[in-house]
Structure 1
Amino acid sequence: MKVDVVVIGSLNYDILVQQDRLPDIGETFTGNELMLMPGGKGANQAVQCAKLGLNVSMVGCVGNDIYGKELISSLAENNVVVSHIAARGNNSGIGIVQILESGDYCSTIIKGANYLLTEEDITDDLFENKPLVIFQSEIPSAIVEYAIQKAHRLDSKILVNNAPARHIADETLRLIDYLVVNETEAGFMHAAPVNSVEEAQICATHLKARIAGDVIVTLGEKGAVISTGTGAQHFPAVFCPDVVDTTGAGDSFIGGIAYCLVKGIALAEAVPFAAEISSCSIQKYGGQSSFPMLPDVVHALRVQQSELSH
């Protein structure tokens, strides 16, 4: 099987608590509902890519615990290749997510086995047939930079979702074909706040000058901005009347962008399509289980289906 996408990143077992608000310091507050499900930015992005019909391989580490088995099982059930996932250490990564009444969330990540990934796990065979390679920032930065250098050397296209935001060396930035960040992450990388579309356009333009390719800055309800060789462009958000849970929405967006890149669809078409996918995901609780399949969202592509088969 020819692999379209390789995701090198995190797998976390998510503990989600739905509650009306966050407690104050020292306060005990009663939540409304508890949900347990597989997650992690890397695994989420792999699942969304697979749900859109791409052939996806996941590279990462889980612990030798019940959570690790569940994380691998969920990926396999979603047709993600799991042969490059290692079981190491006692504990898998854990995500503790608090979902508020508005649908917004905050989360704490326990690194667990995600930080046991090594350079030896980044083998040359991962990059056969030059797949699109997707990274996030929930595994060690040294491994991400090593893998980016190897992927570039073996002629794979590289997409980096710098989430959660952290420093990336300039020499590594210059190897990135696509950088996708939200307004908070963009502000961190740009060392200036991004609170408006105008600030996002300025930030995206400056970030583009630092990488090999194109930049996407997502802005939630304000939409998204891209910066390409033809300048910066703003796309309005997809209207969603029923926001339930925004957990994984960014990962779902990445899956949509990846689908279009693999299919040769331009970013100007990819961003509205990815926004439609993300909009579908926030109308249900959870991450992977809320992600749409291709038939649910293909109407958002203006290109003809016959073109997608080539």
Structure 2
Amino acid sequence: MLSNKVIVIGSLNYDINIHQERMPKKGEVVTGISCTESSGGKGSNQAAICAKLGLDTTMVGCVGTDSFGNILKTSLKKAGVNTKYIKEKGSTGLGIVHVMPDGDYYSTLVKGANYLINKKDIDDILPLLRQSNYLLLQQEIPEEILTYIIEKIENEKISVILNNAPAKKISSNILKRLDYLIVNETEASFMSNTTITTIDEAIYAGKILKSQMNGNLIITLGENGSIAFYNDCIFKCNPIKVKAIDASGAGDCYIGSFVYCLSQKMSIPDAMQFASKASALAVSKNGVQEAFPTLDDILNFSM
């Protein structure tokens, strides 16, 4: 394990993945091609890839007192994640993922135990937070808990990375505390109150968001690559072309891989290129966490 400590506070979902030709219209039934089940949730996925790349990673969140919860914890343990601080409450969160032939997907989430995490759970892990180098957050837990977490670590040296997904309004105080904000084009559109359909529109939206921050901004653009806004620089990372089979979890793979790069003191452009390789490898396989690459996979990847 690398000495850098990562703590992920977020969601754990049991995913049911339905592969089908298209989404149904209202009142229509569409026959699926196949159905698979996998461990998911943005928090869980991001923790899994961090650990698979060798980082000392701890997951904090809630699963249900059911078999799904046990499966999720077992999957994270297999990836090398410390699951000691995952509480069991209520019923496990579920993700219903409709995967299209081009690898793109539509998702519906059932919040479940993810929304049962509370302030005491955060207070219990404050000593762990103070010992960690990176805190990775998403928006699949209650907003007041995310705010509470950031307020509690205001005077700590830990680097805070927020994946604002699903997109929610964020106060200026929270935005200014972030070291990195990572969003896709849909989330960036929501946050900047603009429309993003082109690279120029993404740059325009990014400038709006970056002006509200003290830290750095990454906007991922799927098959169009990604753009970083840091210091006074704008860097466009070109996409890596692969045959996409299943894009679910690709963004999480990118984010966890990016955090690995931060731990290795890589430049932001190099980190984006590394993370792009990781997510390209992930989308070329079926599944989510089980499709995430190892460090050797990424280092040996040739375009």
CA distance in 1, matches of 2:7, 2:132: 10
Gaps spanning 5+ residues in structure 1: where?
A: 302-310
CA displacement at 1:3 relative to structure 2: 5.5
When residues 148 and 127 of structure 1 are mapped into structure 2, their CA distance, relative to the original with a 3 A threshold, is same
CA distance in 2, matches of 1:26, 1:193: 30
2:94 corresponds to: 94
CA displacement at 1:149 relative to structure 2: 2.0
1:103 corresponds to: 103
1:195 corresponds to: 197
CA displacement at 1:268 relative to structure 2: 1.1
2:223 corresponds to: 221
1:14 corresponds to: 15
Matches within 5 A, 1:239-258: 239-240=241-242, 242-258=243-259
Using the size of structure 2 for normalisation, the TM-score is 0.96
CA distance in 2, matches of 1:36, 1:237: 28
CA displacement at 1:204 relative to structure 2: 1.5
CA distance in 1, matches of 2:210, 2:265: 20
Secondary structure of the corresponding residue to residue 246 of structure 1 = coil
- Residues 227-268 of structure 1: CA deviation (Å, up to 9, x unaligned): 01132121110111x210000000000011100111111111
What root-mean-square deviation, in Å, do the aligned CA atoms of Structure 1 and Structure 2 show? 1.4
Asked whether the 8 Å contact 2:7–2:132 carries over to 1, the reply is no
2:164 corresponds to: 162
Asked whether the 8 Å contact 2:139–2:165 carries over to 1, the reply is yes
Using the size of structure 1 for normalisation, the TM-score is 0.94
2:121 corresponds to: 121
* Identity rate, percent: 40
When residues 67 and 12 of structure 1 are mapped into structure 2, their CA distance, relative to the original with a 3 A threshold, is same
Name the amino acid aligned to 2:159.
K
Asked whether the 8 Å contact 1:205–1:232 carries over to 2, the reply is no
2:210 corresponds to: 208
2:39 corresponds to: 38
Asked whether the 8 Å contact 1:115–1:140 carries over to 2, the reply is yes
Secondary structure of the corresponding residue to residue 120 of structure 1 = helix
Matches within 5 A, 1:43-62: 43-62=44-63
Asked whether the 8 Å contact 2:4–2:263 carries over to 1, the reply is no
Asked whether the 8 Å contact 1:18–1:101 carries over to 2, the reply is yes
CA distance in 2, matches of 1:150, 1:249: 30
Q: How many residue pairs align between the two structures? A: 299
CA displacement at 1:125 relative to structure 2: 1.3
CA distance in 2, matches of 1:294, 1:3: 16
